[in-house]
Structure 1
Amino acid sequence: MQTLPVQLDLFAFIIFLGVAQGIFLGFFFLTGERSRSVANRCLGYLMLSLSAVIGEMFLCYSNYMFRLLAFVDFSEPLNFALAPLFFLFVYARIWGRLPKRWLWHFVPTALWAINAVSWLYQPIAVKYNNYLHAYHPELPYAAEPIHYMSEDFFNLRDYISEMTLLSCLIYNVAALLLIYQAYRQAGKPFWQNTPVRLAQLRNQCILFLILPALIALIKPQFYEDLGDYLLACYLTLTIYGTSLNVMAGSNYISDEPDVSPPPPETPIETKKKYEKSALSEELEDAVLGKLNRLLEAEKPYLDSDLSLPKLAARLDTSPHHLSQLLNDRLGQTFFDWLATYRIAEAQRLLNEAATANLKIDEIAERVGYNSPSAFHTAFKRLTSQTPAQYRQLVASSGSLPTSSRSA
């Protein structure tokens, strides 16, 4: 059997980076505290599946497959796991759980894995010839044994690209509809960038939705699998897009402190601090009214990246004036004000039947905390209870009143 030298060019390098990053993200989401979230587990398995799929593309494109012929088409069953995993990730990120009978989504994956048994145990000469047929039809084929089992129990392998395209299209459209419904329930336009979590899901869904369009565009232009390296490069882009979302929501680069902010200043201290301010009472009333309307319409405190400058910009005032307003009229620092609303929302989620079963960490994320420890600290400071203790009281004595809001 003839072989070719290893081909390492820019495309091979990009694909290899995607494989490495996908494996890293997969283990990142499936280890530690992160693995307690069902959405993170779905995303972790999705990243590992993507790595396997584009890893096979890397072996084929770079000619390494000549040295690893046993692995020809080893990732085929995962073609039908990618789209369901992404859909379940979106569902779990929005609802905090998986849908009922979620295992049915992987029936095509299981059936194709059964079909793959007939392929995995073929003689090396058969795998070699199939690899040549897809990537190097110019080379002479090897002699095959006369008798061996059927390569395709279901006689469907010739249509795997079309079936993969259909699977991606159906599940990505379904995921996009879920996100659209979540936007409607939040009372926000679909293309608005808040809440941040929904905006990230929407952008990621659109990125994945491009994949079936690329399959439809690229596959007819190439003989057999020669266009796979372009699809692999795009899948690498989606993996790095996920990495950017992870970094954007990372507490490591967040300005939000993990410790509780200092207690609010006394009225005397506040008066001394701002006694030379030029902010009029009329302007305070106007900004306060705008703040109340913003709270009712958009709940900006649920955005994990909300800061004093960002809130001030949305109110058309300066951070200094907004800080003064919160101190003068509400008797709170910005961090106290923010924690008050977030903890009140967390209490509401713990009280309502539809969300009462969410994990504490998931509730922390929903109300805008990137760090569970910061959420627990704020909750204990404002309610004198931990979130778990509060949930226990709700379960034992019925719905409890949420903390009052100051604005």
Structure 2
Amino acid sequence: MQTLPVHLDLFALIILLGIAQGLFLGVFFLTRPNLSGEQGHNVANRCLGFFMLAVSAIITEIFLCYTNYMFRVLWLIDFTEPLNFTIGPLFFFFVYARVHHRLPQSWGWHLIPFGIWAVNSITWFYQPVEYKYNSYIHAYHPELKYVTSHNYIPDDFTNLRDYVSEITLLSCLIYGIWSALVVWQAYRKSGDRFGGKLSVQLGQLRNLAILNVTFPILISIVKPNYYEDLGDYILACYVTVLIYATSYLVMRGSTFFNEAPPLAQPLPARVDEPPTEPRKKYEKSSLSEELENAVLSKLTNLIRTDKPYLESDLSLPKLAERLNTSPHHLSQLLNDRLGQTFFDWLATYRIAEAKLLLNDPAMAHIKIDEIAERVGYNSPSAFHTAFKRLTNQTPAQYRATGLGGTAFRQGA
């Protein structure tokens, strides 16, 4: 069997950097501890971690083939082919979990093509080395001569392997568009447009979704211009861009380089009254001051970027999960540091948001009950009760008198 020397160039270096960064991100998201020190990982992190490991494995095979190093490890030829059917679903799972904080219903069905192809791959993993040599040169070096062997075993019981590139393209395109639709629906629910900047988290998801849906489009452009698998190095370089874009967004959203900002002061019970002193419900706190500051900092950033209090189904356990702490610790923190129960804290921010809307001339045509829904209240009566308690006015009186200029803005 004829072999060729190892070939290294700029493309090979870019792909290698993508492999290293992808493996790092994969391990990071799978092993990232929460703020309470436990090795717990949320669903979105796990999905993104597995996605990074899958794409890293795929571009590793491309790197081996492109550099001719595959001649030395022929037993690895096509070892990542089943993973082609995981990158679409895993990215979709990540986006869905970031928006809904859970996996989609019947998520396991999305991985059936991967399971079928994994079983199918057994039929070529155990072929003799001559078969694997011929497979490699057929795709990357058709100028070389094939070697003969009579020990081949039947392969590809699906009879679809010749169309694996087209099937991969279709899978990535479907899940890419699906992921973008999930983000678009989240924007609609938040009242912002798809290109808006109200939510940093949604903006990051939108940008990643656009990069991801562009990948199958790039496949459809590159593949027809190359014989067999040539051109994969261009796709691998694009995946490297996607990996480093994810790294940039992770670092951009990190609080590592920021001083811990103080949490915005909540509204007092009356606009004309000074804030009350926080009451110490838990005198013997089990939380360290450092951990409290870390959770407060994360809560502040979450309020600034996502406004979780506008979600009608927000609960103490859900908020605690997003802050990577326990409901008990979060409740204790709100009482100790802010002098509020969770429901007082929630009402404070919702009513503050409602005051901004009621005082906005552009929202004058919106009914008060609709504003109640926009700020997270499913019950208009609960909204009116909370508003009267915190402002000593009804929403209608507040809108009529135009006192909204004193409303504070979260994160200001």
Same fold (TM over 0.5): yes
Change in Cα spacing, 1:232 to 1:263, as seen in structure 2 (3 Å) is closer
1:348 Cα deviation (Å)? 7.3
* Helix, strand or coil at the partner of 1:33: coil
The total of aligned residue pairs comes to: 320
Distance 1:353 1:4 in 2: 61
The match for 2:168 is: 164
Superposition map of 1:14-163 within 5 A: 14-33=14-33, 35-144=40-149, 146-163=150-167
Of all paired residues, the percent bearing the same amino acid is: 48
The alignment's TM-score, normalised by the length of structure 2, stands at 0.69
Q: Which residue of 1 aligns with 2:180?
A: 176
Q: 1:377 to 1:158 in 2, by over 3 A?
A: same
Structure 1 stretches (4+) deviating beyond 3 angstroms? 260-264, 327-332, 338-343, 345-349, 352-357, 373-380, 383-387, 399-407
Q: Which amino acid aligns with 2:70?
A: M
Partners of 2:331 and 2:341 within 8 A in 1: no
Aligned to 1:197: 201
- Give the drift of 1:2: 1.3
User: 3-state DSSP class of the match of 2:181?
Assistant: helix
Given residue 136 of structure 2, which amino acid in structure 1 is its aligned partner? Y
Contact 2:308 2:314 survives alignment (8 Å): no
Aligned to 1:224: 228
Q: Is the 8 A contact 2:334 2:341 kept in 1?
A: no
Q: Does 1:254 align with 2:210?
A: no
- Tell me, in whole angstroms, the C-alpha distance in 2 between the residues paired with 1:163 and 1:347: 42
SS of 2:224 mapped into structure 1: helix
Query: Is the deviation greater in 150-159 or in 239-248?
Result: 150-159
Alpha-carbon distance, 1:101 to partner: 0.8
Aligned equivalents of 2:136 and 2:301: distance in 1? 62
C-alpha change, 1:261 and 1:200, in structure 2 (3 Å) is closer
Q: Aligned AA for 1:110?
A: G
1:203-222 per-residue CA deviation (whole Å, 9 max, x = no partner) reads: 10000111111110111100
Q: Return the TM-score normalized by structure 1.
A: 0.70
Q: Deviations over 1:135-165 (max 9, x none)?
A: 0111121222x13321211111110111011
Three-state SS of the structure 2 residue aligned to 1:40 is helix
Give the structure 1 partner of residue 5 of structure 2: 5
Deviation string for 1:233-253 (max 9, x for gaps)?
000000001000100111102
* Aligned mate of 1:381, from 337, 341, 345: 337
Question: What CA distance in whole angstroms lies between the structure 1 residues aligned with 2:193 and 2:245?
Answer: 23
| Per-residue deviation, 1:382 | 1.2
User: Would you say the 8 A contact 2:331–2:342 is kept in 1?
Assistant: no
Relative to 1, partners in 2 of residues 1:164 and 1:330: Cα closer, same or farther, differing over 3 Å? farther
Aligned to 2:366: none
Give the Å deviation of 1:6: 0.6
Give the Cα separation in 2 of the matches to 1:112 and 1:236.
Answer: 25
SS at match of 1:207: helix
1:360 alignment partner, one of 320, 339, 349 = 320
State the 1:380 CA deviation: 3.7
Write out per-residue CA displacement over residues 235-282 of structure 1, whole angstroms, 9 at most, x where no aligned residue: 00000010001001111023434xx57999xxxxxxxxxxxxxxxxxx
What 5-or-longer segments of structure 2 have no aligned partner?
A: 35-39, 277-295, 347-381, 392-406
Write the letter of the residue equivalent to 1:73.
Answer: D
| Distance verdict in 2 for CA 1:376–1:165, change over 3 Å | farther
Root-mean-square deviation (CA, aligned residues, Å) is 3.6
- Equivalent residue for 1:396? none
- Give the aligned partner of residue 285 of structure 1: none
Cα distance between partner residues in 2 of 1:238 and 1:175 = 15
Whole-Å separation in 1 of the counterparts to 2:196 and 2:4? 51
Contact 1:380–1:386, Cα closer than 8 Å, also in 2: no
Q: Which runs of 5+ in 1 are unaligned?
A: 265-291, 293-326, 391-398
CA contact (8 A) 1:340 1:382 kept: no
Contact 2:82–2:118 (Cα < 8 Å) also in 1:
yes
- CA offsets, 1:285-322, max 9 Å, x none? xxxxxxx9xxxxxxxxxxxxxxxxxxxxxxxxxxxxxx
